[in-house]
Amino acid sequence: MVTIADVAKHAGVSPSTVSYVLSGKRSISEQTRSRVEESISALGYHPHAGARSLASSRANVIALVLPLRTDMHVPILMQFATSVVTAAREHDHDVLLLTNDEGPDGLRRVARSALVDAVIVMDIELNDSRVPVLREVGLPAVLIGFPADPAGLTCVDWDFVAAAARCVDHLADLGHREIAFIGPPSAVFARGTGFAQRTTSGFESAVARRGVRATVRPCDPSHSAVRDTVKRLFDDHPALTGLIVHNEAAVAPLLETLRGLGRHVPQHVSVVAMCPEDLAGQVSPRLTAVPIPAEEIGRRAVELLMGKLERAAGVPPATLIAPHLLPGESTAAPPA
């Protein structure tokens, strides 16, 4: 293995000089620096991660805790993960993948063993068992989502309240007077996931503000559940002209059901989706959507974490990513 001593010898300097060239923690003459850099690439030197971590108490690795559970939309998880890895690499960090089956102990283990310097925890529940562990081990963390008591934590999430409101405003602006919200399965609400409740409350305050008649329906992702929900919705509310769907798995069945019912989109009924951008673009007609910016959330989480690692202070405790509307072909003015 090529060590820092090999590089030092090859460049005719001391090991510490090589170390300082690498870290930039003290000034080096231009001449020395370039000689060292040449030696580094000539020998193909890479510092030993363990030795570095031992000497500096910084592993340059962050952990990413993903839920194993698959009731979340998987492609979104994956987008998160890749954006976290990409962003971490830009800050010279690697990413250790943890699943939730080790539970809170997994966090304790990687923290105490100094395997990682910090952690990003996804899929936060209102009363999350991992939060106490985070406080206990003092591991710098960024949570994606908000627990019931976020005091002392750094959290980032999409602004679900604003996202739901944006959907309502879009439909109201087009002239719709009666709309419905097709949400996640009721199990998601039951689990105590904050986002579902925030979305609903954003929807409800927006419809109140706009004076629009509205209905909220949770919906299971199966084809038949979607069909039943939609049919009952139109039976109960014949004047319904606008739908907001916040349920990835329900998107395709919803469109198919509407087609089956002879209700054309957007001539008879408008549809706005809160879903990943690629899903919105894949279906026909292309959906007007308020896309979930997974990539941006992942990147922001990494940036917040790096902020905590470097400055410790001045990192905002709560970050809400603003939604934006992506126009598609699924919304129009309601029929006269």
Applying CB under 8 A, the residues found at the interface with its own copies are 1-2, 44-54, 59, 61, 64, 66, 68, 70, 74-75, 77-78, 81-82, 85-86, 89, 94-99, 101-102, 108-110, 112-115, 221-224, 252, 256, 278, 282-284
Q: Which listed residue (9, 43, 48, 174) binds DNA by CB under 7 A?
A: 48
Pair of tokens at residue 208: 């109140």
Q: Which span (40-48, 162-170, 211-219, 278-286) binds DNA, by CB under 7 A?
A: 40-48
77 binds, among its own copies, DNA, none (CB under 5 to 8 A by kind): its own copies
Q: Taking CB under 7 A as the rule, does residue 41 contact DNA?
A: no
Pair of tokens at residue 21: 């060239």
> Phi and psi of 245, rounded to 5°?
-120, 130
Instruction: State which residue, 12 or 327, has the beta carbon closest to DNA.
Output: 12
Per-residue DSSP letters for 278-323? HHHHHSSSPPEE----HHHHHHHHHHHHHHHHHHSSS--SEEEEPP
Contact 167, 179 (CB under 8 A): no
Q: Which listed residue (34, 38, 42, 51) binds DNA by CB under 7 A?
A: 51
Q: Taking CB under 7 A as the rule, does residue 42 contact DNA?
A: no
Question: Site residues for DNA, window 277-296 (CB under 7 A)?
Answer: none
232 binds, among its own copies, DNA, none (CB under 5 to 8 A by kind): none
Question: Site residues for DNA, window 54-83 (CB under 7 A)?
Answer: 54-56, 58
Size of the site for DNA (CB under 7 A): 32
Q: Taking CB under 7 A as the rule, does residue 26 contact DNA?
A: yes
- Tell the smallest beta-carbon distance from residue 26 to DNA (Å): 5
Per-residue DSSP letters for 3-64? -HHHHHHHHTS-HHHHHHHHH--S---HHHHHHHHHHHHHHT----HHHHHHHHS---EEEE
State how far the Cα of 333 lies from the Cα of 193, in Å rounded to an integer.
34
Strand 213-217 relative to strand 242-245: parallel, antiparallel, unpaired? unpaired
Instruction: State which residue, 54 or 318, has the beta carbon closest to its own copies.
Output: 54
Q: Which element (helix H / strand E) includes 78?
A: helix 74-90
Cβ neighbourhood burial of 267 (10 Å; 0-12, 13-18, 19+)? exposed
| Residue type (1 letter), 266 | P
State how far the Cα of 287 lies from the Cα of 275, in Å rounded to an integer.
10
Q: Which listed residue (47, 140, 266, 334) binds DNA by CB under 7 A?
A: 47
- Tell the smallest beta-carbon distance from residue 180 to its own copies (Å): 24
103 binds, among DNA, its own copies, none (CB under 5 to 8 A by kind): none
222 binds, among DNA, its own copies, none (CB under 5 to 8 A by kind): its own copies
Pair of tokens at residue 81: 């993960």
61 binds, among its own copies, DNA, none (CB under 5 to 8 A by kind): its own copies
